[in-house]
A = this chain, B = another copy of it.
């Protein structure tokens, strides 16, 4: 009996294969970007056969990339939610967030920064579908930040603008950190943002 009594799914088949493709793609997109990631690399990393990719993703690499970005965006969103839920105020949340990202960056030999940014930059002017996927992730994160900042006492308009500022600074810090192979940009930006946020709601 090859079906799982719990999930009712065939062992190793169906939904699992599709998910494995997306997982593998998300990881590789984060490390090397879209253009530098080959579908052969993705299939090898996922363990799934090459030919199955186009069954699950008829539009090929682009569709897979878009879904991988969606997954990565959702994961960061969940992390953001958790951090803002746990922290007493926005400044603390941002500190915690950046510290977590710095630790992940360092422990991955400066490979795992933002899972969206690389693809966003290289495909912004090339693939509308991928650009939209990256944009959607950013919008989702901004909304979480805005809610967190509003809960911290800002009015809606200010919270929205500060969310944009906070995300920009963190994304830029992740970029500089990878180029420098150092977490210092993250540490400095976290400190600056905390100072800024502590001063702003008055």
A residues lining the B interface (CB < 8 Å): 31-36, 109-111, 113, 116-118, 120-122, 124-126, 131, 134-135, 138-139, 161-162, 164-165, 167-173, 175-176, 178-181, 184-185, 188-189, 191-193, 196, 199
With CB as the reference atom, state the residue of chain B lying closest to A132.
B179
Q: Are A111 and B134 in contact (CB-based, < 8 A)?
A: no
Q: Are B161 and A188 in contact (CB under 8 A)?
A: yes
In contact, A36 and B121 (Cβ under 8 angstroms): no
For the residues of A in contact with B, the DSSP-based class is helix
A71 to chain B, nearest CB (A): 17
Is the CB–CB distance between B179 and A31 below 8 Å?
Answer: no
**Do residues A36 and B168 form an inter-chain contact, with CB atoms below 8 A?**
no
Cα(A161)–Cα(B169), bound, Å: 13
The reply to whether A122 and B35 contact each other, CB–CB distance below 8 Å, is: yes
Give every chain B residue within 8 A of A188 (Cβ-Cβ): 161, 164-165
| Chain copies in the assembled complex | 4
Tell me whether A121 and B121 are in contact (CB under 8 A).
yes
In the A-B complex, list the 9 residue pairs whose CB atoms are closest, starting with the nearest. A168-B172, A171-B172, A35-B36, A172-B172, A33-B122, A35-B35, A118-B121, A124-B178, A165-B192
Q: How far is the CB of A51 from chain B (nearest CB, A)?
A: 11
> 7 additional contacts, CB 8 Å, given A32-B35, A113-B124?
A36-B122, A109-B125, A110-B125, A111-B124, A138-B180, A161-B188, A168-B170
A179 and B180 CA atoms in complex are apart in Å by 24
Name A175's contact: one of B31, B33, B126, B171 (CB within 8 Å): B171
Is A120 a contact partner of B179 (Cβ separation < 8 A)? yes
Return chain B residues, CB-CB under 8 Å to A122.
Answer: 32-33, 35-36, 118, 122
Known: A165-B169, A192-B165. A121 touches B111 (CB 8 A): no
